[in-house]
């Protein structure tokens, strides 16, 4: 993992420099800088529009008693997209613009869910906003637990489930 991060910190700037040189040679200095500034402005506009829409969907889900997990993932993607678009460069701009595409975010969300499920890192299901009238107003959370008694030496003994 550390190798990938190091590769990204070295590879991405080198790639950006190479693309800047090529685009600058084709368009010239000032048009190239203008394109970089325009992508930052377009990114800010897209971020504001899609961010507010995502926030509205999250609020609606919360009011309906559903956890806004899709909206949270979309919000993280939009935050990353905004950061990439504000970073000068064509490669980071392309990556940022791709994160604004809802279909691509859905694919990434499914891939991440598949990965987390396969690795056993996620298996959380909760309905904390369930209709409380069935239980006399009390919130019922289903789950499993295990009680352990600790001896003086710190070794645990299982006393039941």
According to DSSP, residue 136 is labeled T
User: CA torsion 64→69→74→76, rounded to 10°?
Assistant: 130
For the entire predicted model, the pTM comes to 0.65
Which pLDDT belongs to residue 28?
92
pLDDT above 60 (res 118):
yes
For range 140-144, the mean pLDDT: 73
Q: Where do we find the tokens 């325009």?
A: 38
Query: pLDDT digits over 50-68, tens only?
Result: 888 998 899 998 888 888 8
Q: Return the percentage of the chain with pLDDT > 90, whole number.
A: 29
Residue 68's Cβ-side half-sphere holds a number of Cα atoms within 13 Å equal to 17
Provide mean pLDDT across the span 27-47.
89
Give the span between the Cα atoms of 87 and 14, in whole angstroms: 14
pLDDT of residue 77: 93
Listing DSSP states for 41-88 in one string gives HHHHHHHHHHHHHHHHHHHHHHHTT---HHHHHHHHHHHHHHHHHHSS
Residue 159 pLDDT more than 60?
no
pLDDT, position 67: 83
Say how many C-beta atoms besides its own lie within 10 A of residue 53's C-beta.
14
Q: Which two tokens stand for residue 136?
A: 């006399």
pLDDT band at 106, cuts 50/70/90? Answer: very high
Q: Band of the pLDDT at 119, cuts 50, 70, 90?
A: confident
């Amino acid at each position: 993992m550390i190798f990938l991060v190091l590769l990204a910190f070295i590879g991405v700037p080198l790639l950006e420099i190479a693309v800047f040189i090529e685009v600058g040679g084709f368009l010239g200095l000032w048009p190239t800088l203008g394109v970089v500034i325009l992508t930052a402005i377009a990114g800010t506009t897209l971020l504001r529009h899609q961010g507010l829409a995502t926030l509205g969907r999250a609020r609606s889900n919360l009011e309906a008693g559903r956890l806004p997990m899709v909206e949270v993932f979309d919000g993280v993607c939009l935050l990353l997209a905004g950061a990439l678009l504000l970073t000068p460069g064509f490669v980071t701009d392309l990556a940022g613009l791709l994160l604004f595409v809802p279909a691509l975010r859905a694919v990434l969300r499914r891939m991440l869910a598949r990965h987390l499920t396969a690795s056993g890192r996620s298996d959380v299901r909760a309905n904390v906003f369930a209709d409380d009238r069935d239980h006399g107003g009390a919130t019922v959370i289903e789950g499993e637990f295990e009680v352990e008694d600790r001896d003086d030496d710190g070794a645990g003994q299982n006393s039941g489930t």
